[in-house]
Amino acid sequence: MEDMRAPDFPELVNGLLEDVKKVYRMSSGRVFVFPSSGTGAWESAITNTLDRGDRVLMSRFGQFSLLWVDMAQRMGLEVELCEVDWGKGVPLEAYRAALAADKDHSIKAVFATQNETATGVTSDIEGVRRVLDETGHPALLFVDGVSSIASIPFEMEKWGVDLAVSGSQKGFMLPAGLGILGVSDKALEVNRRRNKAGMERCYFSFEDMIALNDTGYFPYTPATQLLRGLRAALDMLLAEGMEQVWARHAYHAEGVRRAVAAWDGCELVAAGPEWASDTVSAIYTPEGVDARDVIAGAYKKYQTSLGTGLNKLAGRAFRIGHLGSLNPVMLCGALSAAEMALIDAGAKITPGAGVAAAQDHYRTGR
C-alpha cells in the first residue's frame, strides 16, 4: 500500500487532476476523484450545488436515468419529469417547452443522461445546451457521462456543462471504484455562495476536497492503486488523442450493429440510428427467446459474460459493451458467443451470419 501522505504523492495527484480535465475537455473549473462509484459523484454534484425543495428538470428512459431521478427525489428535490419511451433519449423539445414556460427561473438544474447504459441510447448534450441558451435559462446543466466520457464525443467546456459524472470502470478502462466529477467555474461559484449551507455533506464535500487537493492530497484515504491505474489509462487516452478515441469507438460499434442487423428476429433497443450508442448495444431477442437463457448459455457454455436486460428489459434483451481497450478480434469473439447462445436458446439464426457481417465491416472499414 502506497503512503498517501508521502512528500512526493502530490506529483501523482496534481498531474492526474489536470489530465482528467483534458479528457473532459475543460481548461477551467475543477475535477474531483472520489473513492466511490459514479453514484457517489452523482450525490456530490447534487449536495454541493442544490438544496431541498429546489426544482429540477429530468427525463427517464432507462434504468440509470431512472436511478438518477430516484436519487433526486429521495434527496428532496422537486423533480419535473419527462417520461420517454425506452429506446429514445433526452427529449429536447419537451425540455424547451418546460424551460420556456419557467418565466421566473425556478428550475435550478437540468439533468441529462448522455449515454443510457441499460438501453444503448445516446442523447444530444450539445442540443440540451442549445435549448438552455435559446430559452435564456440560467439553470445548471448536469450530465451523467458514466458510459460516455472517455469513449464518445464529450465537450464539457464547449457545451457549457456544469457538472459531469463519470466512473473508472467504463471508458477509463479500470475496475470500478472511482467516481469522477467535472465541475465548471459556474457550479463552483454556486457552491462558494452557499458558504457550506444547503444540503448536509461530508464525505462528498467540494470544500473539503478543494482544501486538500490544492496541496496535492485528499481529505481521506484515496484508492491509491486505482489512482495509479488511472495514470496509466490517461496516458493511453491522451497519447491516442480524444478525437481518435471517439472515432475508434464509432468504428467498433458499427461492426456490432451490422451483426445485430444480420440476426433474424433481433434488433437494437435504440429506436433508430440517431439514438444508437457507440459504447454499448442493447439487443432485443427474437419473439419467444428469453434473453436470460441467452445470457446464461453464453456464460456457462462459451465463457462469455453478456450484459443483462435491466428492469422492464429483463428477459427481453441482452447487452454487448464495446468501449475501452478493445479490438475487432475481441468483438468478433463476443459476437460469436452471443450468436451461438442465441441459436442454443431457440433463435432461428444462420450460424455465422452476424460474425460475417461484422468481419466485412472490420476488414473493409465500410
Residue 282's closest CA among 323, 250, 317?
317
Radius of gyration, CA atoms only, the chain: 21
Q: Known binder of ligand: residue 231?
A: no
What are the grid coordinates assigned to 281, written together? 448495444
Residue 68's closest CA among 144, 128, 120?
144
Q: Which residues pair with 268 in a beta bridge?
A: 283
3-state secondary structure of 1: coil
What are the grid coordinates assigned to 16, written together? 492526474
Sign of torsion over alpha carbons 46, 228, 319, 296: negative
The order of strands in the sheet holding 78-83 is 30-34, 179-183, 163-167, 140-144, 107-113, 55-60, 78-83
Q: What is the crossing angle of helices 63-74 and 38-49, to 10°?
A: 40
Q: What is the rounded CA–CA span in Å between residue 56 and residue 63?
A: 19
CB atoms within 10 A of CB 106: 11
Q: What DSSP character marks residue 111?
A: E
Q: Which residues, including other chains, have CB under 8 Å from residue 182's CB and lie 6 or more apart? A: 20, 21, 24, 26, 29, 30, 31, 156, 161, 163, 164, 166
- Say if CB 362 and CB 332 are below 8 A apart: yes
Q: What is the rounded CA–CA span in Å between residue 277 and residue 87?
A: 11
Q: What is the rounded CA–CA span in Å between residue 304 and residue 297?
A: 9
Binding residues for substrate: 319
